[in-house]
Structure 1
């Protein structure tokens, strides 16, 4: 058994033998002494029809298995191959579980082999892999995979993957192997022998690996010495752009099939002009402009020439990755001088080595996700230069663990301390202070703004990409939020003296001088605080239900939202809420007072002292937020609201407050403080006017340049906008009829486009109705239906699944209106169910509407319409992502032609042919056009 591994893969009729699902194909590959020596493959007759979805996925049909042997006739042959060997599978729980159920049901003994799960092992050894599905892993590790979802080929690929994983294991340093060995008993795979052999081998090795260094008993990647070259630029900006954009320039030399785009150079010049004149700028750059490169070039030139850093802020981490991984490396090829770029995020993104080592040492009783997280981080520390957790994909509860070991828990301010020197966050800050370009996100930019510019290195010029998100991000940071999970997690993190908690560890490690701490009083107060927290949030949940009995409308995220102005809808009930919130603040304040004397203990471990200060800060944070939300009231300047999970736990409550008007705050705290802020996005105008966005952001008109950069794409020939004129009117209580018409249109258009459709909804309720109706009428043999919030997975996972399957239809809401790029033949139609107006009863919209009315303005014209137009432009922009794309935008909402305001939508997108006719005529035209 020592060197014999048997790799197993099964194809089945479904996921559960308990539901009478059966094996239809088995593939086995034998590895001996790291060489594939044997293979076995067979179809198996399941004695039941194979579901169409499985046939689509695997290519195995009823005809293929009709004359195949039944399982019991092959069982002995299968088990003989597995004798005296490790059993390996990609998700071994599934394959071994299924095989054992089949064996048991036919009177055979269950297998009890030692097992290795290549999913688990890959997560540990390749923590930076983008996906752990076999097909994606094979691509990541450059393993050829010709026939996914066929048993023998999957077994071969899994075998090659296992050999690759063994090689990776052998490249790890002694300290990492030793720590993994400590965690091994909590994993699903039997890795003890592999790890122990490698540990013994390394223990007697004299070779010293120069890639790693040891810190607090852990192996970490050795830091490279970074040289910061500074250069005096003497070339003019015009000449600089000539050498890049013009014929024979660097772009032509380094990019295949480069075509000069006038708009790209125009944008670069506008950015530079704003920098030189110390003005702000609003630049709308339509899809295909190449705006990222267009703003990076003048930013880098200006930063190097003036020797003053420039900040670039994005809304999504996806765009940050694109900047660092794609655009910056390209620019290094294009320009003839060195420049330095740094990425800076909030402290919570970076790991603290000290906190992680403490968790490894002291926290032994972990659940599986935490053990897996620790194992992944141990390997990742041998690879990462940044310590930024966004480089890896942790299991879900791994992120809760990471919060405890992030730099957010550090209180390291002494530059001479070893902890400061080894802090990834402090290193990122130092790198940012020395950089020409600092890349960050809107969240940290706004946190910095609210905290008087104490977090980011000083700057006077900045680029704000995806600038249409700046106002909402700033509003969140100027407001406050609190939810049950945050409050209870904070308390659980501290714990009681009698629990195996942080507090008991603190008291155990704070010498014997504990007469300063009243343990009995703490436990009593702590219990009261915990119960009061639970009672308060349950009370709020019931309060919202009571207030909204007559109005059961849900937002598109499936939550009930209720706005409160300080006095609430029911005075008696609300007074009870206020009393409970007040009582909780007293309890939390008393807990801080009990902890305070411990800060004076001189014998306390540094790490515990930092955690003590952090936990006291967290208690104070909850007090501040409770007082802000419940005990202060300025309804003219602030909107406060409660959201509850309609079908969730009875304490699933979320509290929010935001300023009603962000324009004055942004004007005073941001635009008046900086020399030049460039705001850019593909969606900043309504009917070619920037007025709406200027007013919303508080951009001083006298200091604002504006420019609209047209797309190089030929929308006139690439896109058709089609609007049916015969859909039921949703206003007259005909929601079911409208959803039925949308569903029928989806199905009819899918026949024309072979699926490849993205359908955008404005409410989750409508999406669900359409999904379940489509499930009844759609041909499941032909179309793969994927729905946000119903199909499992994140937005990026749903998008990948959509691109993986032919003839797929993707239903999305909220976040799918923007930031989803599906270029080429994968997407042929974007269908928009309703014009994306904000629900009129949304708390923030209500408050802003009231504010505008008080100023004598029309909320629809000033707020609802511009918001909807910009959202519509984002949805429209999902279709055409390259010059080769071609498709139809199908808008089910006839208001775009019938309503007086409809022209604002059509006039705000590129000029395209518009068809407004019966559904039947439109479908005929669509088929002819394709």
Structure 2
């Protein structure tokens, strides 16, 4: 329960923050959030499952609300507060701005740090071996299909020199220049070779960072890192879920990122290439291991790899002779995720062989690690082998995940399964993929029922006025004790912004719509102001930009330069009083913050409907249809409604902002679903022609 001393702590911290903020205005919605978060996490609504889901509009002050509501309770209960975000921009805002201010002015004593995955750090021994190892050894590494270029070798030496001279801490994000992926793949840490229990690795950058993390009260992570930890069982990268109170900010991304983590893919011929390397490597590893049983493990591993190869050969023959109708992207999706019996049988054999290979290689890896710790094998001899075996283990894990899923006939969780034929100059290959359609069960079992508490928040969690869609995909529908809260923005929408829906000559679905935009857009652009035009497709954006540029319009367009450079140029033009026109798609608008004069005129060309062209989206639609539902109304429309709200949310970022939104899509007023979408938008002053 929320005891009086804790209430007093929260009130006092809130008052301190209020007196320290310039132009602070009391916000009833923010006060309400603080109270509801605190009551939820204190167990006033449900003692076992302490979870609240919050949709709070722009300007509500979500980050301050969850710091005030969650941190005092986490400190009191001796739990870690883990704040997980979807974007780097929000992470940086929290770690460099919000939390330092909160720590200085709240009166609460706490420590905080940014948590990054193992793969963002170098393994010091991998770096040493990559610089000083022989070329023959490097050529056998499974991540390298060809030797490093001269530029890549130069970069590797620069990294080694900087780390050796203690001018670089060994994390990828703090290196000023770009590190090529091939170079990073050779030197980055992984769970197999860079183990803390091995003496030689206790001072590697990741483990030093982990030691520091253990002392922190607040940890800033991203959704991918959170899911990577859950995939490992929890408590490996981050503290154990039962010892954590989570704040999942930008929670509308969570289901999508979880789906990515639960998927698996592998090629046939490409896999055979690295399996042949594994056969050569296993002999070297067996000879190095001190135990006499290593030779038996090697034979067992090689037999399993041979079994995988025979299975792959049979699958290749089957796919070559199958009369599948591939689409324009050379992809064929299995309807309802159901595979032909012949492929399922092969999958069972390959999956079992991959399981044996994985288990055996893990055993050899652990044996060599023990030999190093016991002093039976020198570290400099074992390190390259452990690094290489770690990469093979990771690949075998994915291979087992794919084929074990393909081997299952009927499942409670529907899967999307598809193959892609890949053409090369002298040969062809097949990429086989598997992805669960629904991931709510995974989050329910791994996170919601394990954690000490959770706050999920975003400006867009409802779709068409309901939390139902989000609750279903995140695994919270019907869960006891979950509190769903929607608070309004403090903005005076009718006074601050005008929403204009002009008459149009054609529908967005017409082929002539792109050419119509070329004619109509100049009437909606303000040359002396900050303009943002959002398109539903790259092709349409490029088509319109090309023709407007020929008419003399100066346009900054997404994709031509980096996102950061694009925003910097846009802001500089406004600062110089020139005006600016920025063209982008939904991906640009996500998380885009252009307050004040940096955006006063927003144009949305059409409702951002996703076209279900990917195998996953097609399978989702098919699954809904099989249950008697309407995919368009239950998936496409809710997703588009959320995206439209996000897009409109770019205009007003602060309480003094103002401007105009123009939407060139009459379906908002002519279709029933469009009117429902329109009703979910903030109550801007409206002008509908």
Q: TM-score, normalised by structure 1?
A: 0.61
Contact 1:784 1:807 in 2 (8 A): no
Q: CA deviation at 1:539?
A: 10
CA distance in 1, matches of 2:22, 2:220: 28
SS at 1:453 equivalent: coil
Does 1:325 pair with 2:100?
no
Deviations 1:154-176 (A, max 9, x none): xxxxxxxxxxxxxxxxxxxxxxx
Q: CA deviation at 1:866?
A: 1.6
Counterpart in the other structure of 2:621: 849
Contact 1:581 1:626 in 2 (8 A): no
Residue number among 16, 27, 33 corresponding to 1:267 in the alignment: 33
- Structure 1 residues 516-915: aligned runs within 5 Å: 547-549=325-327, 552=328, 562-565=332-335, 603=377, 605-628=381-404, 630-634=406-410, 637-642=413-418, 655-699=432-476, 700-731=478-509, 734-735=510-511, 737-750=512-525, 752-754=526-528, 756-775=530-549, 777-779=550-552, 782-788=553-559, 791-793=560-562, 795-805=563-573, 806-915=578-687
Q: CA deviation at 1:877?
A: 1.3
SS at 2:451 equivalent: coil
Q: CA deviation at 1:562?
A: 4.3
Deviations 1:416-448 (A, max 9, x none): x43343032223333333322222221222233
Contact 2:196 2:207 in 1 (8 A): no
Change in Cα spacing, 1:643 to 1:295, as seen in structure 2 (3 Å) is: farther
CA distance in 2, matches of 1:818, 1:526: 45
Contact 2:361 2:393 in 1 (8 A): no
CA distance in 1, matches of 2:524, 2:315: 50
Q: CA deviation at 1:607?
A: 0.9
Contact 1:802 1:808 in 2 (8 A): yes
Contact 2:315 2:346 in 1 (8 A): no
- Structure 1 residues 485-504: aligned runs within 5 Å: none
Change in Cα spacing, 1:648 to 1:341, as seen in structure 2 (3 Å) is: farther
Change in Cα spacing, 1:438 to 1:395, as seen in structure 2 (3 Å) is: closer
SS at 2:587 equivalent: helix
Residue number among 429, 432, 445 corresponding to 2:213 in the alignment: 432
Q: CA deviation at 1:509?
A: 8.0
Contact 1:303 1:310 in 2 (8 A): yes
SS at 1:819 equivalent: coil
Q: CA deviation at 1:287?
A: 0.8
Counterpart in the other structure of 2:107: 336
Does 1:400 pair with 2:182?
yes
Residue number among 357, 369, 375 corresponding to 2:128 in the alignment: 357
SS at 1:434 equivalent: coil
Q: CA deviation at 1:753?
A: 4.2
Counterpart in the other structure of 2:260: 476
SS at 1:881 equivalent: coil
Contact 1:245 1:265 in 2 (8 A): no
Q: CA deviation at 1:238?
A: 3.8
Q: CA deviation at 1:809?
A: 3.2
Contact 1:360 1:374 in 2 (8 A): yes
Does 1:466 pair with 2:250?
yes
Contact 2:335 2:619 in 1 (8 A): no
SS at 1:408 equivalent: coil
Aligned pair count? Answer: 652
CA distance in 1, matches of 2:488, 2:358: 60
Contact 1:343 1:428 in 2 (8 A): no
Q: CA deviation at 1:351?
A: 1.6
Deviations 1:25-44 (A, max 9, x none): xxxxxxxxxxxxxxxxxxxx
Change in Cα spacing, 1:615 to 1:244, as seen in structure 2 (3 Å) is: closer
Q: CA deviation at 1:283?
A: 0.9
Counterpart in the other structure of 2:138: none
Contact 1:468 1:683 in 2 (8 A): yes
CA distance in 1, matches of 2:535, 2:432: 26
Q: CA deviation at 1:589?
A: 7.5
SS at 2:653 equivalent: coil
SS at 2:42 equivalent: helix
Change in Cα spacing, 1:590 to 1:507, as seen in structure 2 (3 Å) is: closer
SS at 1:803 equivalent: helix
Deviations 1:447-470 (A, max 9, x none): 333333242212242111111111
Root-mean-square deviation over aligned CA pairs: 4.5
Contact 1:716 1:913 in 2 (8 A): yes
SS at 1:907 equivalent: helix
Q: CA deviation at 1:322?
A: 1.9
CA distance in 1, matches of 2:634, 2:199: 55
Does 1:239 pair with 2:22?
no
Q: TM-score, normalised by structure 2?
A: 0.80
Q: CA deviation at 1:234?
A: 10
CA distance in 2, matches of 1:471, 1:349: 23
Contact 2:223 2:257 in 1 (8 A): yes
Residue number among 152, 155, 180 corresponding to 1:369 in the alignment: 152
- Structure 1 residues 33-112: aligned runs within 5 Å: none
SS at 2:214 equivalent: helix
Contact 1:566 1:630 in 2 (8 A): no
CA distance in 1, matches of 2:123, 2:5: 45
Q: CA deviation at 1:480?
A: 2.2
Counterpart in the other structure of 1:32: none
Change in Cα spacing, 1:528 to 1:764, as seen in structure 2 (3 Å) is: farther
Q: CA deviation at 1:784?
A: 2.9
Structure 2: unaligned runs, 5 residues or longer: 136-146
Q: CA deviation at 1:594?
A: 9.6
Counterpart in the other structure of 1:149: none
SS at 1:657 equivalent: strand
CA distance in 1, matches of 2:282, 2:192: 17
Change in Cα spacing, 1:681 to 1:443, as seen in structure 2 (3 Å) is: same
